[in-house]
Structure 1
Amino acid sequence: MRSHLAEAGACDLARPACQRCIKYGAECPGYRDQQELVFRNADPTAVKKRKKRTAQSPGVDESPSSASDTGFSTPALSPNGDFMFTSSKDVVLANGVNCNAVAPLTRPVFQHWTSHSVPIVLNVYSNFDFIQDIYSSCNVDGPLIWAAHLFSRTYVTNLRYPTAITRDAHAETERELGTYLGKTLNSVNKALNTPDGAFRDDVLATIWLLSNYELLIGSLNRTETLSPWHLHARGLYSILKIRGVAPLYTAKGRMSFWPAYSMVQIQSLINNTECPPESREWFDIIAQSLFPGEGLGLQVSLFITKVCSVQAKIFSFFRRRDFSGASRDYKDLFAQMKTATHELEDWMESNPMDNHMLEIYVISLYQSAIVKGFNAVKLLINFLTHYPPCPIPLQQLMADRDYCIEIAQTAAQGILESVPRILGPLAAKGKDKSPKTVFDAVRTLWPLICVYVIDICRSEQKLAAEEYLFYIGRELGVRQGLNTYSTKLTLPQEARIPFGEHGGL
C-alpha cells in the first residue's frame, strides 16, 4: 500500500478526506489530472463529455470554439477546490466585468469558485428574464450576489454528490453554505431596513432565489408551516403588499410580480389557506392592460384563488368538526369548484395556446389546483357521510365523490404527461443535463408532489410521480425530489374514509 505522504505535496484526494488507500487497501493514485475536474458552461455535468473527447483525441488540444456552445466560460476545480479558467468564450458578468477577457493561456489561472457563481445562476435561469435582467444591474456586493454564491455552491455540491458524501466533506460543505446563507440573510435584512428596501427588485429576487435554494436542499415539509421555504414565501407576500399596485402598471413591475405571487399561491395551496385578500385588486389592474402571453397566467391565478377559498372553508369545518356547517355549505362549495373549472376550460378553448414551455408549466399548475381542490371536496363528502342529519342523499354524495375522483385523476394524468415535455424523457438518465433544466425541474416539483402525496390519485400515478421526483432529486440535484413526505395531514377520521368503507380512495 502506498501512502498519501509518498507524494510530493498534499494529495488532492485528501480533500475531502479521501483515505481510500487506508480503508480499502487501494494504491493511492496521487494527483488527479486537473482536466478531469473541468465542467463546461458552469455546468458540472459536462465532465463526462470532456473525458470522452480526451479519450477520443489524445494529445490534441481542444479549440476554444469547442469548449463552449452557449458562451459561458469554462471553469474547472483546482486541487484545493477553487475554480480555474480554461480558454473559452468571454463571459460578461452583471456588473459589466468580463470574466475571461484575456488571451488563451498555456497555464491555468486559479480563481475561487465564487468567481463563477453568477454565471452558474444565469445559466440555470437562462430562460427567465426576471433573473437575467436583475443581475444585469445589481450591486456587486448586494444580497443577490450572496444568494448566487449560496445557490450555485449547493447546486454543484448536489450534482457532485447525488446520494452520499463523506462525513468530513459534509461538515465542511455545511459550514461553508451556512456562512453564505448567513451573509445572504444579513444582506437582505440590512436592505429591508432601508426606506426603499421592499421596492428593490434585487431584494425580491434574492428572497425568491432563497425559496428555490430551499428546494435544492429539500427542506420543504408537507406539514411544517414554519419551514424556511414558507418563511420566504411569506416574505415575498409582505414585499408585494408593501409595494402596492404601482408596479403592476409597468412591464418591469409585472415581471417581478408574477414569480413572487406564484410562490405565494403555491403556499396557499399547500397550507389550505386563502390567497392574499389583495389578489382581486391586483388581478383587476393586470386585466386592464394584459401584456402578450399574460392572459393564461392571470386566468389560472384567478382559478387558484377560488380553489384556495373553497379548500380553506372545508378545512375550517374539519378543524372545528362542524358537521352542521359543512352540511349547510356543501352544495355551494361543490358548485364553486365545478363552475370555476368550467369557466377556465371555456376560456382556454376560446384562447388556444401554442405549447410554449411556460404555458405547459402554467397548465400543470392549474391541474395541480384541480387535484388539490377536488380532493378537498372528496374529503368533505367522506366527512358528511358520517352525519345522519345531512340533507343530501347518500347516493348523491357518492356520485359527487366519483365525479371528484375522475376529474382529479384526469388532471393528475395531465401533469405526468407534461413532465417529459418539460424535462425530456427519463431514458436520458445518466446523460449530461443542461443547468437550465434545474429551473424546469423546480417548476414541476409542486404538481408532481401533488400527485405523489394526495390519495385521490391512482396508485400507478403516484408511482410515476415518485419516479419523476426521484429523477429530479438524483439526476438534477434538486433534493426536494427525494423527500418521502411520510407525515400525514391532520384530519378527522370521518374525512379519511366514507361511512361503510374500510379502505380505498
Structure 2
Amino acid sequence: MPNTGKPSQDCHLCRQRRVKCDLGRPGCQRCVKYGVECTGYRDQTELVFRNANPSTVKKRKKRTAKRDDAEANAASSSHSSGSTTPAASTHGELSSPPIFSHSTDLIPNPKRPDSLWVTLPPSLSEHWTSHSVPILLNVYSTLDFLNNAYRANPRDGPLVWAAHLFSRTYVTNIRYPTSMHKDSEAETQRELGTYLGRTLSSVGAALKSSQGAFRDDVLATVWILANYELLVGSLSRMEPLSPWHLHARGLYSLLKARGNALLYSDAGRTAFWPCYNMVQIQALVSNTECPPESDEWLGIIRNNLQDGEAYSLHVSIFITKCAHVQARILAILRLCDFRAAESEYQTLVSQFTEAEEELDEHLAASNRYSHDLDSYMNNLYSSAIVKGYHYIQLLANFLTHYPASKLSLEDLGAQRARCLQKTRRAAQDIINSVPWILGPLACGKDKSPKVLFDAMKMIWPLTSVYVLSTTLPEQKSEAEAALIFIGKEIGVRQALNTYPGRFPLPLEAEQPLGVVGPDSSPWAEEVG
C-alpha cells in the first residue's frame, strides 16, 4: 500500500544516529564530519510503498523487540564490566559511540573489502568507527589517565579523532594480510590521513587557548599520537625528526607548560607518569639529556610520595642520570676528543655506577615486585642498564687509541669485562620477561586488544637487546623472535623496524686497540 506518512529520506547512518542529514549526493557531509563514509540512501520505492501484510507487520514488531532487548543486554553487559558509556549526542557533529562488552571482534566488511566491522554479541554488526573509543579504552584499560580524560570529554574534541586514528591503524595492521586488497590500500591511507589531520588540527586549535596546555584531553591526545607512530613504525624515518620524536617532545612541552602545581594533585600525578615515561624513553633512544626540569619534578614527587610510586620514582631518577652520562659520552666521541675522554672518564663511570647503586639500595629495602608498574619499569630500568654500559664500553674502547692516556690497557680491559657482564645480565632480565608478558597471547589464551599495550611497552627494551653489540648472539636471536611476533601477530609495526638509526661514531670507539679481555677474546672480534 502507499506510504501515507512522511518517511525520512536521510541516509542510513544519519537515520541510525537520529541526526539531520543534508541529503548530499553521492554521500552526505554529515557522515564525512562524523569521520566515516556515507553508507547511502534507501531505495525510492521503499520510501513510497510499505508492505501492509499483517504477518509481515507482526514479524517486523518481533524483530524490533528482539533488537531492543539485544541493545539493552549489550548495554547491561558493558555496565557490569566496568566500562563507561558516554551519552549519545543528537546535536553535535561528533558523538561518542556506546561502549559494549570487551569481547569485541573485528572482521572484514563483506560489502567493502577496504572496511571492517565490529561484531558485538548478540549478532549486532556495526562499522568499526562506532566503536573506536571502546577499542582504544580496551587497549589501555589499565591506564586511569586515559580513561579519566575520555570520561571528562566523551562527546567531541581531539580524543575522538585520535581514537579513530589509533583504532583504524590497529585493525588495519592486524587484518591487512587477509582482509585488505591492494586496491584499497590507497583509500585506507587517505582515510588515516584524514583522521591524523583532524586530530592535529583539533590539538592545534585547543592549544591556541590560554588553558589548552592544561587540558588533560590534549595531553592524552599527544600521548596517543606517539603510540600511533609505534603502530605505523615511523621511528626510523629521519630519526631525530621522526613524528614519534616530535610527539614525545610535544609531551615535554605540555608538561613544562602545565607547571609544578598539577604534581600536587592526584589527577595531575596520574597524567604526569605515562607522559614523562615517554619523554624519558625518547631521551634514551636519541642519546639526549632528560628535561632540565626533571630534578624539580621528581623532587616534588619524592617529597609527596603516593602509594605505588616509589619504584617508578627511583627508576626515573636513575634514567635521568643514565641519559646524562650517555649524552655526554656521545658528545665526546662525536668530537673525537681524547683529552675530554680521559679527563671525564672516571667521573662519568662513577656517576653511572653510583646511580645504579642507589637504585639497588632502594630495591633491597623494598619489595621489587609489589606494584603493577613493575614489569614495565623493570624492563625500562634494564634497557637503561644495557644502553648505559654499552656507551661506557665505547668510551673505554676509544681510550685504548690514546697513547698519552694514564689509563692502562689492563684497566680498560677490566672495565670492558664489567660492562659486558652488566649488559648481558640486564639483557637476560628483559628476555626472561617475554614469556610472562607475551605468553598468554602466544599460546592463544588471550586475543583481546588489551595485550597491545603490554606488547608496545616491550619494543624499546627488546630493541636495545637486539641492536647493541654488547649483548650475546642468543639474546639477540630471542629478542628478534619476540619483536617479529609483536610486529606480525599483535600489529605493532615499529617492532619490525628495529633499527631506529645509528649515530656516527669514530672507528676507535667501535674497534679498540688489540686489547684482550679476561674472557680471552679479542675486542675487535666481538664489538666489530
TM-score, normalising length: structure 1 = 0.79
> Are residue 504 (structure 1) and residue 519 (structure 2) matched?
no
The equivalent residue for 1:341 is 356
Aligned-pair CA distance for 1:171:
1.0
Equivalent residue for 2:189?
Answer: 174
Conservation of the 8 A alpha-carbon contact between 2:463 and 2:498: no
Indicate whether 1:234 and 2:238 are aligned.
no
Q: Give the aligned partner of residue 446 of structure 1.
A: 460
Relative contact order (C-alpha < 8 Å, sep 6+): which is higher?
1
Residue from 454, 469, 494 that aligns with 1:455: 469
2:200 aligns with: 185
Kindly state the Cα deviation for residue 503 of structure 1 after the two structures are TM-superposed: 2.5
In 1, Cα distance between equivalents of 2:338 and 2:231: 41
SS in 2 for 1:409: helix
- CA contact 2:169–2:192 (8 Å) conserved in 1: yes
Structure 2 partner of 1:370: 385
- Write the distance in 2 (CA, Å) between the matches of 1:159 and 1:332: 48
Displacement over 6 Å in runs of 4+: none
- Return the letter of the residue paired with 1:210: L
Report the counterpart of residue 303 of structure 1 in structure 2. Answer: 318
Structure 1 position 397 matched with structure 2 position 419:
no
Task: Single out whichever of 71-80 and 480-489 deviates more from structure 2.
Answer: 71-80
Determine if contact 1:304/1:366 at 8 Å carries over to the other structure: yes
CA separation of 1:76/1:381 partners in 2, compared to 1, >3 Å: closer, same or farther?
A: closer
Partner of 2:258: 243
Aligned residue type for 1:161:
Y
- For 1:186 and 1:180, how far apart are their aligned partners in 2? 10
Q: Distance in 2 between matches of 1:278 and 1:470?
A: 37
Find the counterpart in structure 2 of residue 492 from structure 1: 506
CA distance in 1, matches of 2:389, 2:251: 28
Residues 344-394 of structure 1, C-alpha deviation per residue, up to 9 Å, x if partnerless?
Answer: 011111011335442111011001000010101000000000101111111
Q: 1:252 is matched with which residue: 267, 270, 275? A: 267
1:158 aligned onto 2:177: no
CA distance in 2, matches of 1:168, 1:369: 44
Query: Which secondary structure does the structure 1 equivalent of 2:448 belong to?
Result: coil
* Alignment partner, residue 351 of structure 1: 366
Match in the other structure for 2:341: 326
**C-alpha distance in 1, partners of 2:501/2:357?**
33
Residues 425 and 397 of structure 1, relative CA distance in 2, 3 Å threshold: farther
Matches within 5 A, 1:49-60: none
| Other structure's SS at 2:405 match | coil
Task: Return the alpha-carbon distance in structure 2 between the equivalents of residues 179 and 119 of structure 1.
Answer: 20
Query: 254-263 vs 477-486, which deviates more?
Result: 477-486
C-alpha separation between the residues in 2 aligned to 1:260 and 1:379? 31
Counterpart of 1:273 (choices 273, 288, 291) is 288
Distance in 2 between residues matched to 1:164 and 1:122, nearest whole Å: 24
Aligned to 2:490: 476
Instruction: Find the structure with the greater CA-based Rg.
Output: 2
SS in 2 for 1:503: helix
Count how many residue pairs are aligned between Structure 1 and Structure 2: 424
2:142 maps to a residue whose letter is: N
Residue segments in structure 1 that go unaligned for 5+ positions in a row: 1-60, 89-107
CA RMSD of aligned residues (A): 2.4
Change (3 A) 1:164 1:118: closer
Instruction: Indicate how the Cα distance of structure 1 residues 164 and 414 shifts in structure 2: closer, same or farther if over 3 A, else same.
Output: farther
Per-residue displacement from partner, 1:300-328 (whole Å, max 9, x unpaired)?
A: 00000110111111111012110001101
Deviations 1:199-233 (A, max 9, x none): 00000000000100000111111871000000000
CA gap 1:198/1:275 in 2 versus in 1, 3 angstroms: same
Residue identity matched to 1:389: A
Which letter does structure 1 place at the counterpart of 2:356? T
The superposition leaves residues 40-86 of structure 1 with CA deviations (integer Å, 9 ceiling, x where unpaired) of xxxxxxxxxxxxxxxxxxxxx9xx79x99957345665433364665
CA contact (8 A) 1:223 1:489 kept: no
CA deviations 1:381-424 (Å, max 9, x no partner) are: 00000101111111001101110110011000001111222222
Question: Do the aligned residues in 2 keep the contact of 1:377 with 1:404 (CA within 8 Å)?
Answer: yes
Structure 1 distance, partners of 2:407, 2:178, is 52
